[in-house]
Amino acid sequence: MVGAIAALMSSTVVNVAIPALSQAFALGQDQAQWVSSGFMAASVVGMLTTPWMLTRFGFRRTYELCLLALMVGGLLGGLADRYALVLTARLAEGWAAGVVQPIPAIVILRAFQPDEQGRASGLFGMGVVLAPALGPSLGGVLVEALGWRSIFFMVLPFGVLSLWLARRYVPVTAPGGVAPQRGLALDRVGLVLATVATLALLTGLVAVHAAPPAQAALHLVGAAVALAAFVAWQRRGRRRGAPAPLLQLAVFRHRAFAAGSWVALIYGAVLFGSTYLIPVHLQMGLGLPAAYVGALLLPAGLVLAATIAIVGRLADRQPAHRLVAIGLAVLTLSFVGFALVQPATPLAALVALAIVGRVGLGFVLPSLNLGAMRALPASEIPQGSSAIGVLRMLGGAVGVSLCGMVVEWRWAALALPAVGAPPAARLAAFAWAFWLLAALCALALLSARALRPVPPARH
């Protein structure tokens, strides 16, 4: 839990500092969004390597390597004097966070009985969410008082604590209690293809607005080709008995898991897109200081933690597809509300909208993984956890890129100056991005029905 807190802290808290980063390095939205989408692209690559790292190094060494990379990234970002170094730090943090994040689901599904998994997931989620809930508030104060660099240093105390706890409690074995396979080879070709596909996709999305159409099309076609090559390579490895494919495509033969993966892809775009967009919207759209933004988001974070704990218990008794559908419907309403915000909207209404959205997240977070992965046999749970995490994070990277692209596009279409634009015009630019998130959320809601378990066939 503490390791996941460190990873999520580095993922979400930096969003409060994006306006300050943009000013410090003279960045547009299409460049500034790489602070978030670059992190998530690296997380996608890291998640693909999680099953291999756990098998090759075991739980403890994997955790220690990732936490060290997370701390090095925090130091590098906090001391950086060029934007390129900030991006390098975010890539290091993203890779480490990507490897760490699938592991808790593996532990919960292997260490707890089915009637305990929802409660365990809820308690874990409540603990993990409390840090990001408090993070933006503390981050806003730090940005106002000490500048954007202080945001990167926030991960260091959590990293030190996690290293101590890992040394004390985390076993050295690999999943299943077996010894690590020291000679296990990494699928380097698959890793290169996945990296190329992810970067080409994100670059292509940014280029749709910031580059000539031919260049954007070239990137997007390259992403499609690299993705097709990656899938073909994984299938080839499976036919030839490769010991450790990066992505075990066999997990998608389970209907509930395949449906959950599709929902996770869309949900990731909504989750991370809104996590990026709301703090930027409050600062650049409404002109609120960073410390105000942190204070406004604090109640929503606390409500999210409480909701996850409650829904975690419900997940042991209620069908996962029903809880996911409720959460997605509430999220859609929240985004519609943000799209309709005006300069005169009271701060209390903004707090209420953020709380409504976090209630929706609280219904989805404990339910989606359980609903998708309960269909998998125990031997495929590590691969399934990695696969669904990859798709959620890939969706998140796409969501952040789309939000940044839409805001930049509307800003240019409305001919708004970089400084001094009227509040109503600024909010109109952000409203388009919120309508996009609402549409994506509604699409995921339609797909959530497929999470319904298939009844056994009659003989």
pLDDT-based confidence at residue 182 (cuts at 50, 70, 90): confident
Question: What is the number of other CB atoms lying within 10 angstroms of the CB of residue 317?
Answer: 8
Question: What secondary structure does DSSP assign to 335-403, as a single string?
Answer: HHHHHT--TT--HHHHHHHHHHHHHHHHHHHHHHHHHHHTTS-GGGHHHHHHHHHHHHHHHHHHHHHHH
Q: Quote the CA–CA distance of 326 and 335 in Å, as a whole number.
A: 15
Q: What is the pLDDT of residues 117-135, one digit of tens each?
A: 777 777 777 666 666 566 6
DSSP tag of 172: S
Of 240 and 48, the structure prediction assigns the larger pLDDT to: 48
pLDDT-based confidence at residue 370 (cuts at 50, 70, 90): confident
pLDDT-based confidence at residue 175 (cuts at 50, 70, 90): confident
User: Residues 73-89: what's their mean pLDDT?
Assistant: 88
CA-based torsion, 166, 80, 141, 358: positive or negative: negative
| The model's pTM | 0.74
At how many degrees (to 10) do helices 213-239 and 188-210 cross?
160
pLDDT of residue 457: 41
Q: What residue spans define the domains of the chain?
A: 2-176+244-451, 187-243
Q: Is the per-residue pLDDT at 354 higher than 80?
A: yes
Q: Is the per-residue pLDDT at 456 higher than 70?
A: no
Q: Is the per-residue pLDDT at 94 higher than 80?
A: yes
Contact call for residues 63 and 170 (beta carbons, < 8 A): yes
pLDDT-wise least confident of 68-72, 109-113, 169-173, 401-405:
109-113
Question: What secondary structure does DSSP assign to 118-137, as a single string?
Answer: HHHHHHHHHHHHHHHHHHHH
Q: What is the pLDDT of residues 242-265, one digit of tens each?
A: 556 677 777 888 877 888 888 888
pLDDT of residue 272: 79
pLDDT-wise least confident of 42-46, 78-82, 419-423:
419-423
User: Residues 280-299: what's their mean pLDDT?
Assistant: 79
CB-based contacts of 139: which residues, under 8 Å, 6+ apart? 13, 14, 16, 17, 151, 154, 290, 294
pLDDT-based confidence at residue 459 (cuts at 50, 70, 90): very low
Q: What is the pLDDT of residues 6-65, one digit of tens each?
A: 777 777 677 677 777 878 787 766 677 677 778 878 888 888 888 888 888 888 898 899
pLDDT of residue 458: 41
Q: Is the per-residue pLDDT at 266 higher than 80?
A: yes
pLDDT of residue 126: 67
Mean pLDDT of the chain: 80
CATH 2.120.10.30 for domain 2-176+244-451: no
For residue 25, give Cα distances in angstroms to 90, 241, 416: 16, 49, 20
Q: Is the per-residue pLDDT at 195 higher than 70?
A: yes
